[in-house]
């Protein structure tokens, strides 16, 4: 009798355990199927979101195989994008005139290099990207400076060929190297703003954007340099960005030839990318602080001149595009820089 009672008790315990386990599994199943957001527990993590909003971007296009026949110039080069920019990598040590390597500048914050199409779709005012109405005029532009050692070498090359250029400088670097920034302007080259800290301003609120412009204006004011041009970092802009630039009387400027000099150490690739994509009224995007870009610069200048192009500043290109007439030649030493004495916030 005792054995029978013990057997019944053990059977009852097993039944209770099975019931509890069944109830737990049923609860998990119901939560998985019915709880909002639980689909992420079993959704495909690689699937691109569909119909999230009416402005959802299209799925990202896979990068081309460098060996693909559809690649850009030189058989293996990707065609330069007109809307991409990445800050120059600061891994190369600049070599100043003394022959001793200068200490590398602090690393700038990294951001996504490509400008978001949504950023530009939201902007009602397009930025200036060159003009075919300017004829055989093109503008060389250099971003992300100034740099200790490197900037002086860029200026030497430009002066040797007696060609103008436009430098879009970062405010924090102007504060760090005020003498170099001032030298660019004093030698007659055009200077524009590339924001204060090279942040993607389309991700910021209006107050932050205005503060960025205010600090940049102050940095240039301290070296008595007026800025009338603004290039948004990464080419990303919207109404808040271009509107703030307008308040500071700065023309927003982009580019339409990007040789992607930041992703190669081969000067010849940079040269070929520029010369194969340049056209009337082009704005060419290059970066400071890179040995490969510096080595490519003489060939770029000679190649453009051999194609019949004349190099001008961005302001001259804007003027020529509006009038449809080529501007008169200008030596870098002829231009003037005046005080920027107002804070327009």
- Angle of helix 150-160 relative to helix 291-306, nearest 10 degrees, comes to 20
Cα–Cα distance for residue pair 232/163, rounded to 1 Å: 25
3-state DSSP assignment of residue 325? coil
Beta bridge partners of 141: 166, 285
Cα–Cα distance for residue pair 158/155, rounded to 1 Å: 5
Residue showing tokens 């527990």: 41
Pick the catalytic residue from 194, 198, 277, 287: 287
Tell me the C-alpha to C-alpha distance, in Å, between residue 137 and each of 134, 208, 278: 6, 36, 10
Chain mean position to CA 215:
20
Pick the catalytic residue from 143, 212, 258, 261: 143
144: left (phi over 0), alpha (psi -120 to 50) or beta: left
Residue 186 CB neighbours (<10 A) = 14
144 a catalytic residue: no
143 a catalytic residue: yes
Residue 302 CB neighbours (<10 A) = 13
131 DSSP 8-state letter? -
Residue showing tokens 């990068």: 63
Q: Which residues are catalytic?
A: 143, 287
């Amino acid at each position: 009798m005792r054995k029978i009672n013990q057997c019944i008790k053990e059977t009852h315990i097993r039944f209770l355990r099975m019931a509890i386990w069944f109830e737990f599994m049923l609860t998990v199943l119901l939560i998985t199927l019915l709880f909002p957001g639980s689909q992420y527990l079993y959704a495909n993590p690689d699937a691109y979101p569909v119909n999230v909003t009416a402005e959802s971007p299209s799925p990202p296009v896979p990068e081309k195989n460098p060996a693909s026949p559809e690649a850009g110039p030189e058989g293996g080069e990707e065609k330069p994008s007109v809307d991409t920019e990445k800050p120059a990598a600061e891994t190369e040590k600049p070599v100043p005139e003394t022959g001793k390597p200068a200490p590398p500048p602090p690393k700038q914050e990294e951001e996504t290099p490509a400008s978001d199409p949504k950023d530009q779709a939201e902007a009602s005012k397009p930025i200036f990207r060159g003009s075919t109405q300017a004829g055989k005029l093109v503008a060389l532009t250099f971003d992300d400076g100034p740099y200790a050692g490197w900037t002086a070498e860029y200026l030497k090359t430009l002066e040797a060929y007696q060609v103008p250029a436009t430098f879009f400088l970062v405010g924090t670097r102007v504060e760090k190297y005020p003498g170099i920034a001032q030298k660019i302007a004093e030698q007659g080259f055009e200077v524009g703003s590339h924001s204060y800290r090279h942040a993607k301003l389309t991700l910021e609120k209006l107050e932050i954007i205005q503060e960025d412009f205010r600090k940049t204006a102050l940095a240039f004011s301290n070296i008595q340099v007026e800025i009338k041009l603004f290039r948004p970092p990464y080419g990303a802009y919207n109404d808040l960005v271009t509107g703030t630039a307008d308040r500071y009387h700065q023309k927003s400027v982009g580019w339409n030839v990007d040789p992607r000099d930041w992703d190669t150490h081969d000067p010849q690739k940079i040269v070929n990318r520029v010369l194969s994509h340049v056209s009337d009224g082009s704005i060419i995007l290059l970066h400071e602080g890179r040995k490969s870009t510096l080595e490519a610069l003489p060939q770029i200048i000679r190649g453009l001149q051999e194609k019949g192009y004349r190099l001008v500043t961005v302001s001259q290109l804007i003027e020529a595009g509006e009038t449809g007439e080529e501007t008169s030649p200008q030596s870098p030493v002829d231009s003037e820089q005046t005080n920027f004495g107002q804070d327009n916030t």
